[in-house]
């Protein structure tokens, strides 16, 4: 019998809001433990939640970006469970009427390379829990994260392997990032995925029993969790056993999963409508205004970059980083050379960004000077480095260091003359047909000229003489 893997993802993303979802405590990552808390997010009796309007806006934006229908009449529900990181002993979520549903994301099919639609079942709003820290035989709790707004994006089981699951998550990340919905810092937990995996006879319509692995926080872990879990299930079946529905823990070190607990059912959570929050009605006007404020989506942006002459690979690299996108677009306001700019961004600039800010104005100016033949590529690199590390101004730095290409042909000629007379061996080697000997002579001249002439004019001068 031939088997296939079936996978669906529940992706949690923390929203880029100033404040929490039901109170006005600060929502940013970190902070002194338990300083970003109030009676609402800590669940004091009688404290009442209020829905953060910005959360609703970002949820609608996410729904539109993922091709969803927006639910106009929304309600919140209580999901009850007892765990010390949840101060209210329930999480406010949306079970019956999620804010967005029936969307899709396109990824590349891992088998035939064509576009494949991964359907989105729903997106709902919920609140994050606090954090438990276990140390020295004690458990400490930090409620700063309790009540931080989350969107949970639930896919249909349309993914066929770990590669597709990782690519789907990458796609989501790019969309969330470019739409300003989340900072998607996976190492800080602001984007994490629960992975559901089952196997079934190839071509069968029925779904197999699935297991779930929670809170995976890297693309590599997502890919390995899916593929290794499918393998494990196949071997269980191959040995005559059957897969049991359960939650498993994926261990990054061993790249394998271990049983954790039997899967809880909706019934276990005793869901009921949240009585403290009135229904939330979203107007067509509001949806229209969110639509009007939507930024360019990653697929559109990539296609536009490719139409400017970038390779799909370069376009993808730039689109995965907000800083590079901003630099690219701003630099193009100054210089009219997209491909050259992209090369700088993915080479020199990526290195220099580790040392300081790279200003688009200066980068654009330097690229213009280079393309106008005013400075050599080496001088251009030196200049940018000085701009980033020492705050230099391009023109002033070039003047001070006499980097302008003079193309003063008499100077080039004089130096070529001298280098030729000092290196008779190289000259005769060249005359015997050794191309390398000419490069050596050019190099010697360039060193003397210290970037004041182009290699082309030096080569010409040497050839004229010999």
Query: Which one, 80 or 320, has the nearer CB to ligand ADP?
Result: 80
Q: Read off the DSSP letter of residue 161.
A: S
Residue 321 contact among ligand ADP, Zn ion, none, beta carbon within 5 to 8 Å by kind = none
Residue 154 contact among Zn ion, ligand ADP, none, beta carbon within 5 to 8 Å by kind = ligand ADP
Residue 41 contact among ligand ADP, Zn ion, none, beta carbon within 5 to 8 Å by kind = Zn ion
Q: How far is the CB of 92 from Zn ion (least distance, A)?
A: 13
The separation between CA 396 and the C-alpha centre of its own chain, rounded to angstroms, equals 37
Applying CB under 5 A, the residues found at the interface with Zn ion are 23, 25, 38, 40-41
Residue 296 contact among ligand ADP, Zn ion, none, beta carbon within 5 to 8 Å by kind = none
C-alpha to C-alpha distance for 365 and 275, rounded to whole angstroms: 60
Q: How far is the CB of 157 from ligand ADP (least distance, A)?
A: 4
Q: How far is the CB of 41 from Zn ion (least distance, A)?
A: 3
Q: How far is the CB of 89 from Zn ion (least distance, A)?
A: 16
Those residues with Cβ within 8 angstroms of residue 243's Cβ, 6 or more apart along the chain or in another chain: 198, 199, 208, 209, 210, 211, 233, 236, 237
Q: How far is the CB of 72 from ligand ADP (least distance, A)?
A: 22
C-alpha to C-alpha distance for 77 and 228, rounded to whole angstroms: 35
Residue 297 contact among ligand ADP, Zn ion, none, beta carbon within 5 to 8 Å by kind = none
Query: Which one, 23 or 416, has the nearer CB to Zn ion?
Result: 23
Q: How far is the CB of 308 from ligand ADP (least distance, A)?
A: 37
Residue 417 contact among Zn ion, ligand ADP, none, beta carbon within 5 to 8 Å by kind = none
Cβ proximity of 297 and 287 under 8 Å = no
C-alpha to C-alpha distance for 298 and 167, rounded to whole angstroms: 14
Give the tokens for residue 267.
């019934």
Burial class (CB in 10 A: 0-12, 13-18, 19+), 416: buried
Applying CB under 6 A, the residues found at the interface with ligand ADP are 6-10, 154-157, 196-198, 207-208, 210
Nearest to 453 by CA among 405, 413, 408, 393: 405
C-alpha to C-alpha distance for 62 and 180, rounded to whole angstroms: 9
Q: Which residue is nearest to ligand ADP (CB)?
A: 8
Q: How far is the CB of 83 from Zn ion (least distance, A)?
A: 19
Helix, strand, coil percentages (3-state) for the chain, rounded to 5, are 40, 20, 40
Query: Which one, 261 or 436, has the nearer CB to ligand ADP?
Result: 261
Residue 196 contact among ligand ADP, Zn ion, none, beta carbon within 5 to 8 Å by kind = ligand ADP
C-alpha to C-alpha distance for 173 and 186, rounded to whole angstroms: 10
Query: Which one, 50 or 293, has the nearer CB to Zn ion?
Result: 50
Query: Which one, 12 or 382, has the nearer CB to ligand ADP?
Result: 12
């Amino acid at each position: 019998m031939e088997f296939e893997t079936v996978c669906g993802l529940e992706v949690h993303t923390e929203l880029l809001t100033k404040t929490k979802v039901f109170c006005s405590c600060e929502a940013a990552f970190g902070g002194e433990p338990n300083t970003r808390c109030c009676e609402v997010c800590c669940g004091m009796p009688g404290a009442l939640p209020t829905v953060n309007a910005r959360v609703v806006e970002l949820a609608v934006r996410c729904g539109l970006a993922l091709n969803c229908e927006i639910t106009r009449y929304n309600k919140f529900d209580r999901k009850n469970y007892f765990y010390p990181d949840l101060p209210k002993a329930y999480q406010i979520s949306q079970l019956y009427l999620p804010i967005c549903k029936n969307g899709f994301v396109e990824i590349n099919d891992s088998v035939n390379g064509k576009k494949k639609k991964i359907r989105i079942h729903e997106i709902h709003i919920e609140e994050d829990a606090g954090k438990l820290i276990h140390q020295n035989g004690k458990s400490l709790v930090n409620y700063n994260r309790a009540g931080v707004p989350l969107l949970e994006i639930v896919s249909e089981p349309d993914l066929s392997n770990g590669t597709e699951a990782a690519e789907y998550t990458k796609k989501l990340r790019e969309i969330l990032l470019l739409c300003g919905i989340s900072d998607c810092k996976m190492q800080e937990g602001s984007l994490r995925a629960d992975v559901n995996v089952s196997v079934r006879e190839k071509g069968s319509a029925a779904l197999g029993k699935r297991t779930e692995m929670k809170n995976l926080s890297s693309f590599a872990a997502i890919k390995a969790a899916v593929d290794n879990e499918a393998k494990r299930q196949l071997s269980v079946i191959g040995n005559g056993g059957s897969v049991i529905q359960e939650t498993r823990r994926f261990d990054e070190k061993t790249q394998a999963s271990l049983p954790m607990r039997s899967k809880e059912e909706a019934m276990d959570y005793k869901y009921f409508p949240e009585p403290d929050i009135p229904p939330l009605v979203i107007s067509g006007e509001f949806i229209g205004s969110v639509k009007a404020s939507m930024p360019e989506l990653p697929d559109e942006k990539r296609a536009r970059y490719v139409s400017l002459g970038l390779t799909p690979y370069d376009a993808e690299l730039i689109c995965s980083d907000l800083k590079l996108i901003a630099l690219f677009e701003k630099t193009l306001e100054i210089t009219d050379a997209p491909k050259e700019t992209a090369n700088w961004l993915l080479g020199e600039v990526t290195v220099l960004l580790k040392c300081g800010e790279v200003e688009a104005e200066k980068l654009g100016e330097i690229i213009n000077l280079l393309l106008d033949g005013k400075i050599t590529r080496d001088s251009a690199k030196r200049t940018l480095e000085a701009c980033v590390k020492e705050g230099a101004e391009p023109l002033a730095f070039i003047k001070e260091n006499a980097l302008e290409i003079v193309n003063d042909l008499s100077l080039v000629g004089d130096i070529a003359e001298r280098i030729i007379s000092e290196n008779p061996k190289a000259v005769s080697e060249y005359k015997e047909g050794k191309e390398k000997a000419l490069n050596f002579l050019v190099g010697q001249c360039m060193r003397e000229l210290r970037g004041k002439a182009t290699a082309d004019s030096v080569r010409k001068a040497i050839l004229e003489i010999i």
